[in-house]
Amino acid sequence: MQPFREFQIYKNVESYLKVYPTFERLIIFETSRKVRVAGYEPRFKEKKIHRASHPIFEAENKLDSLRRSKTRLSDIVLSNDFQFFATFTFAKNRTDLVRLKKSMSKYLENTKNRYGDFKYVIVPEFHRDGKSLHFHALFTEFPAPITYSGHNTKSGEKIYNIKNYTLGFNTLTKIENKEKVSSYVKKYITKTMVEIPGQKRYWCSRDLYRPLKIENPGIKLDDYSKLFSKNGLLVYHKDVKINEAL
């Protein structure tokens, strides 16, 4: 069997278009990137020294990993119709992320079985002590019983408590301004994302939407306004309806 030629295994990607429900974003690489074509993955993993094992590249790799997590989380927030924002604290084992994730997953499963289905994304965050953890969550729906706490946010939204949550303290607010919540998740929460080896910085429902991604779309730049140039990317933005982008 003849070996595959490089042009069969790799393709050059110069730009890609991300299509969200209410807008689209065009991203252009300052230098084209070589991407492996699906179906031509190597049968055996090549042995190589991972860049993270070298002190010179360790900080750079961590920064790239955090940037990818922020991008994926941002894509989820912008592509789904989240209705509620919640914060969960824990009375026990507050520093054990693995155990807290199991407890939270069990709570969500029990809530779904009893009250009905909903979608979510959860981001763990450290308290000010740098050790204890609490979770922030976005829900598309939340069917469990809630009660008004008697308090409001600074912007006037009512703060509720979830009645069936017994692992600690909780608050829940209805999302009135989705743009602000998206900005909060992207800018504030992601700055303090928990970094624990072997653990994800966030987790979410399997059935959440992601933006449609089109490689090398070949569209006119005249329809787009330049937003910024950063990390080797030129990013353009355009408000558009989803059916127009397709």
Identify the pLDDT of residue 108. Answer: 96
Q: What is the pLDDT of residue 6?
A: 47
**209 contact partners, CB below 8 Å, separation of at least 6:** 21, 76, 79, 80
- Cβ-in-10-Å burial (0-12, 13-18, 19+) of 190 comes to buried
Higher pLDDT, 79 or 200: 79
Query: pLDDT band at 208, cuts 50/70/90?
Result: very high
Q: What is the dihedral of CA 223, 228, 230, 232, to 10 degrees?
A: 30
Mean pLDDT of 80-95: 93
Sheet holding 146-152, edge to edge: 146-152, 158-162, 170-174, 84-88, 133-139, 120-126, 203-204
The tokens for 201 are 């910085």
Residue 199 or 74, more confident: 74
Q: What confidence tier does 118 reach under pLDDT thresholds 50, 70, 90? A: very high
Question: What's at 23, amino acid-wise?
Answer: F
Q: pTM for this one?
A: 0.77
189 pLDDT band, cuts 50/70/90, is low
Q: What are phi and psi of 156, to 5 degrees?
A: 100, -5
pLDDT band for 243, please (50, 70, 90 cuts): very low
Amino acid at 126: F
With tokens 């909060």, the residue in question is 184
